[in-house]
Amino acid sequence: MAPASAHRLTSALAPAGQARYNAQVTFADLEAHPALRAALDARGYDEPTPVQAAVLAPTLAGRDLLVSSRTGSGKTVAFGLVLARSLLGDAPALLPAAPRAPLGLVIAPTRELAVQVQRELAWLFAEAGARVGACVGGMDPRREARALAQGLHLVVGTPGRLRDHLDRQHLALGGLAALVLDEADEMLDMGFREELEAILAAAPVERRTILFSATLPKPILELARRYTRDAARVAATPPGEAHADITYRAHLVAAREREHAIVNVLRRLDPASALVFRAQRETVHHTAASLAERGFEAVAISGELTQPERTKALKALRDGRARVLVATDVAARGLDLPNVELVLHADLPRDALALQHRSGRTGRAGRKGLAVVLAAPQERFRLESMLREAGISAEWAPVPAADEIRARDEERLAAAVAALAGEATEEELAVARRLLDERAPLLVAAALVRRERARLPAPEELPETARAAREAPVAAAQRKERRARPAAGEDGAWFRISVGRDKNADPRWILPLLCRRGGVTRDAIGKIVVMPRETRFQVAREEAERFARAARSPDPKMPAVRVERVAGPPRELSRRGRRPPPATQPSHGRQNDATPQRHGRSRYQASALVNALSWSLRSFDSLRSRSNCSSVVWGSSFVAFGFPSRSHVSTASSRTASSARPRAAATFRSRSEMKSGRGTFVLSSVFASAMRCSVDRLVRLRRPCRAVPP
């Protein structure tokens, strides 16, 4: 079932440690049941895959198993071989099944996977006389109940439908000999924990339990500890080899051009079959309709489709009538699609495990596959984190451009013509002669090229994506190599742009404008100085000439804006040099009078403080005659609106007030701090312009007072 070179397997036995097997074996060497060996021979399977050889290892006979293996590795036949040992033993065939009491139970996350497993086990156990049935949602439950009543040796089902048959007493698990959970991690992700626990609790304790999972997160390990007996962990696919047959590629795209990027990726790669993942049902159907309108053979599946509709869509893909399947994560789980060449993550998965599950639909059964991820610039770091967590190395590349796709079309057309040139019949040659006699050969060839191009979907132009790729954040692997921007006074050329503060110039929108205008990245732009009527900025010396040539062309969005080269930096910048860094301030402890502490406050807190000051000023005239109480009112007002403690409310010295100008210094002493006199609070400049007159009046009028005894 797999080439000899792939027969490397790792079996990790809990808790003893790990053992590695490197041998070429056959099903006879592994002592597989004769009835199943006959079925495998009839299908042409001579040698087991690594996961099949691992679960049949002699040291694992009769033990519960926790198997981690990627999709497409032959897991169905693997647990079929394990079930045969528990159900058949040394008997040549199975006895008639008891009504409603199967000997083996297989639980799968989705309808498609359950039906696929039922078909695989049916031919695998055919020589043993086993009756295999399926109990899945979307099918007639009464027909399933009749089949259970007639007796089934093996039942394959989804958690919800099996739980329903248990509750209705159509299914009894008292005689169960073995139970298999296929894709256990996906079942937990889909919210089937309650159903799984109910089914496992109804099964006898002495059963044999086998858990198959592509990954082994903590919930799976917890489930195994609760419902298995000293389970042996089998890593049939080591973590480093989980994606050995899959090549990963990542593209940065503008969010508004995501669907156009999907078109260009499909056109450039031209896969025989592709699976496109979208995050929501609405986008699934919109993308499928958009692709079909452009000429792609595309179908969609999502959770809202009925089972016949899903079956029809999947049959179209298997038959070749459709080449692109658009699906959500949940709808695509358990799909039997062995020949998928491309998995396109049009929307980012939710985490690294979902990325692995999605990508595992390609590169199966020894074939090579390609997984392409589309990410907006703001999603890049999140995607890099997922890739690191999954241990995946991806190649970052630009989205295929329209010119590149047309060039690739010409290559394919030339190759197709060369392949068909030697296969022409006499009738076809006669038609070709008549065409060439009536028209010029060049016109005939041009007409055929035009007809071939009309058959293909037109590639899309992606201007915003190209711009986003130029302005994208630097990748994590490239940050150490990123060149620092030239600061003022360093080697760099100065330019001016004809917008300033009078036109609301802001570096946040000027920087993208400069990058677009000069065809450079943001790394090439240094200091930006906004002036009243213009803005000066610095460009790296090695990029200055190219920037000057490109900036001469007017910008389509802002044609009136001019960019010119100047001799040097602004006069005031060269005179004062670089600004000193802001003084650091202690996070706790006593505050120095010479360096008053500043409290950064949000706009909401600032407004609240202004309201408190205004209220206090209005009430000051009525309270100043009672000076002992006025300090209490002021102290309470400050403390109530978010200041750490009363130590920030005390009397300000004249030296502090003069050094804080143009900030107004207003300080007040509470009753408890009259004796200590510690701490100062300096009103920020944000409120100074509005409160200076009132605060100065308050300080002048305030009389010294003594503390009021409690």
pLDDT of 336-385, one tens digit each? 676 889 999 999 998 888 888 888 888 876 678 899 999 999 899 999 99
**Which one is predicted more confidently, 453 or 331?**
453
pLDDT at 684 over 60: no
Instruction: Tell whether 464 is covered by a domain.
Output: no
Q: Chain-wide mean pLDDT for the chain?
A: 76
Residues 190 and 170 in one domain: yes
Q: Which residue stretches of 326-462 are H helix?
A: 329-332, 352-359, 380-390, 402-420, 426-438, 441-455
Write the pLDDT tens digit of every residue in 147-191.
999 999 999 999 999 999 999 999 999 999 999 998 887 788 778
Residues 282 and 185 in one domain: no
pLDDT at 635: 42
pLDDT at 134 over 50: yes
Q: Are strands 246-252 and 394-396 parallel, antiparallel or unpaired?
A: parallel
pLDDT at 572: 61
Residues 449 and 526 in one domain: no
C-alpha dihedral sign at 174, 180, 182, 184: positive
Instruction: Tell whether 236 is covered by a domain.
Output: yes
Q: How many residues does the chain have?
A: 710
8-17, 79-88, 374-383, 599-608: least confidently modelled range: 8-17
Residues 294 and 377 in one domain: yes
pLDDT at 93 over 50: yes
pLDDT at 396: 92
Distance between CA atoms of residues 113 and 588, nearest Å: 61
Instruction: Tell whether 482 is covered by a domain.
Output: no
What pairs with residue 289 in β-bridges?
Answer: none
Instruction: Give the end of a domain, one of 411, 435, 455.
Output: 455
Mean local confidence (pLDDT), 55-81? 85
* CB distance 287 to 313 below 8 Å: no
Instruction: Tell whether 447 is covered by a domain.
Output: yes
506 contacts: CB under 8 Å, gap ≥ 6: 530
pLDDT at 705: 40
Distance between CA atoms of residues 464 and 468, nearest Å: 6
Distance between CA atoms of residues 591 and 595, nearest Å: 8
* CB distance 635 to 652 below 8 Å: no
Confidence of residue 135 (pLDDT cuts 50, 70, 90): very high
What pairs with residue 213 in β-bridges?
Answer: 68
Instruction: Give the end of a domain, one of 185, 220, 240.
Output: 240
pLDDT at 128: 92
Query: Could you tell me the CATH number of the domain that includes residue 505?
Result: 3.30.70.330
Residues 253 and 121 in one domain: no
Amino acid occupying residue 632? V
pLDDT at 612: 54
Instruction: Tell whether 594 is covered by a domain.
Output: no
CA–CA–CA angle 344, 347, 348 (5° rounding): 100
Mean local confidence (pLDDT), 38-49? 88
Residues 120 and 166 in one domain: yes
Mean local confidence (pLDDT), 566-587? 57
pLDDT at 568 over 90: no
Amino acid occupying residue 102? P
Give residue for tokens 């002048």.
Answer: 700
Tell me the residue range of the domain where 278 lies. 244-401
Residue of 583, 600, 602, 601 whose CA lies nearest to 592: 583
pLDDT at 546: 87
Residues 420 and 568 in one domain: no
509 contacts: CB under 8 Å, gap ≥ 6: none
Q: Please classify residue 568 by burial: count the beta carbons closer than 10 Å to its beta carbon, then call 0-12 exposed, 13-18 middle and 19+ buried.
A: exposed
Residues 162 and 265 in one domain: no
Instruction: Tell whether 707 is covered by a domain.
Output: no
pLDDT at 615: 54
Residues 110 and 168 in one domain: yes
pLDDT at 512: 84
312 contacts: CB under 8 Å, gap ≥ 6: none
Distance between CA atoms of residues 186 and 353, nearest Å: 10
Instruction: Give the end of a domain, one of 181, 211, 240.
Output: 240
Instruction: Tell whether 35 is covered by a domain.
Output: yes
3-state SS assignment for residue 350: coil
Cα–Cα separations (whole angstroms), residue 190 to 187, 304, 330, 449: 5, 15, 8, 49
Residue of 31, 34, 180, 213 whose CA lies nearest to 102: 180
Query: Could you tell me the CATH number of the domain that includes residue 125?
Result: 3.40.50.300
pLDDT at 318: 82
Residues 566 and 675 in one domain: no
Confidence of residue 514 (pLDDT cuts 50, 70, 90): confident
Residues 443 and 389 in one domain: no
* CB distance 132 to 118 below 8 Å: yes
pLDDT at 550: 86
- Based on its alpha-carbon atoms, the radius of gyration of the chain, rounded to whole angstroms, reads 37
pLDDT at 681 over 70: no
3-state SS assignment for residue 2: coil
* CB distance 212 to 183 below 8 Å: yes
Residues 293 and 356 in one domain: yes
Mean local confidence (pLDDT), 328-332? 76
Distance between CA atoms of residues 242 and 51, nearest Å: 12
Confidence of residue 334 (pLDDT cuts 50, 70, 90): low
Q: How many domains does the chain have?
A: 5
Instruction: Tell whether 355 is covered by a domain.
Output: yes
Write the pLDDT tens digit of every residue in 444-477.
888 888 888 888 888 999 988 888 777 655 554 4
Residue 633 in tokens = 């009112």
Tell me, what DSSP letter sits at residue 101?
B
Amino acid occupying residue 164? D
Is the full-model pTM beyond 0.75? no
H or E stretch covering 539: strand 535-539
Distance between CA atoms of residues 300 and 281, nearest Å: 9
